[in-house]
């Protein structure tokens, strides 16, 4: 009679982070890796504006002997996307997609970070949240869980999620509170509750 399933020996077949990084970056030239980051900015612009045009949006790339920087004003990465999808290795099922995006497999941004250098810093802000991530790759590779397994998580260095508050509301024919009208004599607005 065979042993119970829970007592059968298990073979550890999990990858090491070194091997994973090596395989991830070995087949991609640096210029193609950078295009993945530009595509992420374009995806942000599509998420921000849909198909209504991109006037006023920009992507800026700075290259120096010891530093690469890409910055945009294309809407940022929402915290929930960063936490659950954007920094995962491989696109998990249920990940939101953007029509026309080059990225399909959930590896481009991380692959580019590892291809470019030994430390990466991400700062992102949307209308409702902002965060930073600062990863020293060697420290991350050495990090393990309390059980001694590789810890594949990245940590937010800073994280701020806040509600949206709008000040100086524009005058409209209707109101969030009810119907409003302007008093002709005083120019003041009155709100009629619905």
Q: What does pLDDT average to in each consecutive run of 10 residues of the chain (194 residues)?
A: 63 91 93 92 88 91 94 92 88 62 70 95 92 96 92 94 70 53 46 38
pTM of the model: 0.72
* Residues contacting 157, CB < 8 A, separation 6+: 131, 132, 133, 134
DSSP 120-175: EEEEEE-SSEEEEEEEEHHHHHH-B-TTSSB-----EEEEEE------SPPP-SB-
Q: What pLDDT is stored for residue 127 in this prediction?
A: 87
Q: What pLDDT is stored for residue 193 in this prediction?
A: 37
Q: What pLDDT is stored for residue 186 in this prediction?
A: 45
Q: What pLDDT is stored for residue 50 in this prediction?
A: 84
Task: Quote the CA–CA distance of 43 and 84 in Å, as a whole number.
Answer: 17
Q: What pLDDT is stored for residue 108 in this prediction?
A: 86
86: three-class secondary structure by DSSP: helix
Q: What pLDDT is stored for residue 189 in this prediction?
A: 43
């Amino acid at each position: 009679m065979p042993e119970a399933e829970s007592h059968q020996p298990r073979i550890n077949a999990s990858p090491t982070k070194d091997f994973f990084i090596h395989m991830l970056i070995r087949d991609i030239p640096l210029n193609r890796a950078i295009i993945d980051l530009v595509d992420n900015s374009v995806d942000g612009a599509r998420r921000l504006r849909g198909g209504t045009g991109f006037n006023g949006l920009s992507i800026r790339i700075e290259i120096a002997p010891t530093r690469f920087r890409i910055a945009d004003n294309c809407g940022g990465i929402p915290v929930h996307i960063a936490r659950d999808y954007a920094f995962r290795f491989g696109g998990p099922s249920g990940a939101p997609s953007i029509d026309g995006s080059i990225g399909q497999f959930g590896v481009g941004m991380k692959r580019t970070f590892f291809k470019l250098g030994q430390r990466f810093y991400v700062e992102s802000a949307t209308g409702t949240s902002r965060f930073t991530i600062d990863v020293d790759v060697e420290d991350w590779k050495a990090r393990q869980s309390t059980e001694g397994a590789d810890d594949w998580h990245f940590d937010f260095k800073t994280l701020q999620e806040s509600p949206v508050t709008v000040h100086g509301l524009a005058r409209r024919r209707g109101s969030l509170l009810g119907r409003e009208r302007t008093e002709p004599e005083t120019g003041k607005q009155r709100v009629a509750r619905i």
